[in-house]
Amino acid sequence: MTSKLPLLALLAGSSFLLSFQGAGGPAPVVDKQPLHVFLLAGQSNMEGQAVVDLDHEEHYNGGRGTLAKLLEAPEFEERWGWVRGDDGAWSERSDVGVWYRTPHEEKKGPLSIGYAVYGGRHHFGPELAFGKVLGDRLEGPVLLVKACWGGKSLHVDFRPPSAGGEVGPYYEQMFEELDAALKGVGAAFPEWKELEPEVEGFVWFQGWNDGCDGEATRNYAENLELLIGDVRERLDSKKLPVVVGETGNMNNPALHEAQEAGAKAARRRGPTAYVETRDFLRAAEDSPNTGHGHHWYGNSESYLLVGDAMGAAMVKLLPKTRGR
């Protein structure tokens, strides 16, 4: 990593604060409240392509499948109405924060819409529902760190060290993003500056580019297993909970089988869950981006369902002592 203070130094001794009291010697070791950190990595669908409120008839299919349009249905409002306050404004959750550095800006603040690769607040990704689930489950604040870039493969761009060959530049960049977020907690979230950040989970939502390449698809299971092992080793956490989201918007059974096999292999060494997402794909004609099947057609329900399912899977992997 490029930072002067390594990530592991930030995490070392993460559950304790040792203070000294003059000639009286060291005081008893005191527990320090943790900041629950989750690393969310992948490619464009982790970046966030769900459309919030854009409704141009030609370019956004009249708003069909946007968050604003779907909330008009009572059954959708009943399940997902928490995304909007009583005043009609998009809600913000202060006990869950998001840190995401896009190619154009650094986004950081309370969980809400807008943490996507685009400017403004017209899109969101899986982090919205994922953060809701984790915030409801954990005692104390939660920080979601997004490290994701569109059009990147596991076979090359995220290639882990154990796979041999040249390490993927975005594998390294993923940790640089995490490092920067952890060091910047005090500035971005002043109310959490005294907390001890603990990376407690890794979420992987990627696969489209590998599914378009036969060799990459054939090697995906092994590369995914190695990626998870290397991430755990890098974070000095052999039992780090890991959730893998299926690329369910792609009709590629070979890729799906490889993703599941890689997650299953990683499960032998630590808590790992594979989340099927094919049922979350909505029809193009019911979505804002009718030509963007690679982005779930921009359908907001799809991204909410993906985030919710991955959050539920992560909750099952976490130690029971962390819960409310």
E runs forming strands in the chain: 16-17, 30-31, 34-42, 50-51, 93-101, 106-111, 123-124, 142-148, 196-205, 242-245, 272-275
Q: CA separation (Å) from 73 to 35, 81, 301?
A: 36, 10, 12
Rounded (to 5) percent helix, strand, coil in the chain = 40, 20, 40
Write down the mean pLDDT value for the chain. Answer: 92
Instruction: pLDDT band for 321, please (50, 70, 90 cuts).
Output: low
The set of residues, in sequence order, having a beta carbon less than 8 Å from that of 184 and lying 6+ positions away, is 99, 108
Distance of alpha carbon 17 from alpha carbon 293, whole angstroms? 49
Q: How many CA atoms lie within 13 A of 260 on its CB side?
A: 11
Q: Which residue has the tokens 């959050």?
A: 311
Which domains, from first to last, does the chain contain? Answer: 28-319 (3.40.50.1110)
Helix (H) or strand (E) holding 261: helix 253-267
Token reading at 285: 């004609």
Between CA 179 and CA 234 the distance in angstroms is 12
Q: How far does Cα 32 stand from its chain's mean position? A: 25
Overall average pLDDT of the 137-158 stretch: 98
The residues near 218 (Cβ < 8 Å, ≥ 6 apart) are 254, 258
Instruction: Indicate the SS3 state at residue 181.
Output: helix
Q: What is the pLDDT of residues 81-118, one digit of tens each?
A: 999 999 999 999 999 999 999 999 999 999 999 999 99
What is the token pair recorded at 121?
């607040």
Q: Is the pLDDT of residue 18 over 50?
A: no
Cα within 13 Å of Cα(247), Cβ side? 28
Q: pTM of the prediction?
A: 0.90
Give pLDDT, residue 306.
98
Q: According to the model, what pLDDT value does residue 31 have?
A: 64
Quick one: CA torsion of 254, 167, 198, 80, rounded to 10 degrees? -40
Answer positive or negative: Cα dihedral of 181, 210, 294, 129: negative
Residues 43-75: tens digit of each pLDDT: 999 999 999 999 999 999 999 999 999 999 999
pLDDT tens string 237-279: 999 999 999 999 999 999 999 999 999 999 999 999 999 999 9
Please state, in angstroms and rounded to a whole number, the distance separating the CA atoms of residues 312 and 324: 14
Two structure tokens written together for 213: 């390449």
Q: Is 266:224 a contact under the CB 8 Å cutoff?
A: yes
Q: How confident is the model at residue 25 (pLDDT cuts 50, 70, 90)?
A: very low
pLDDT at 92: 98
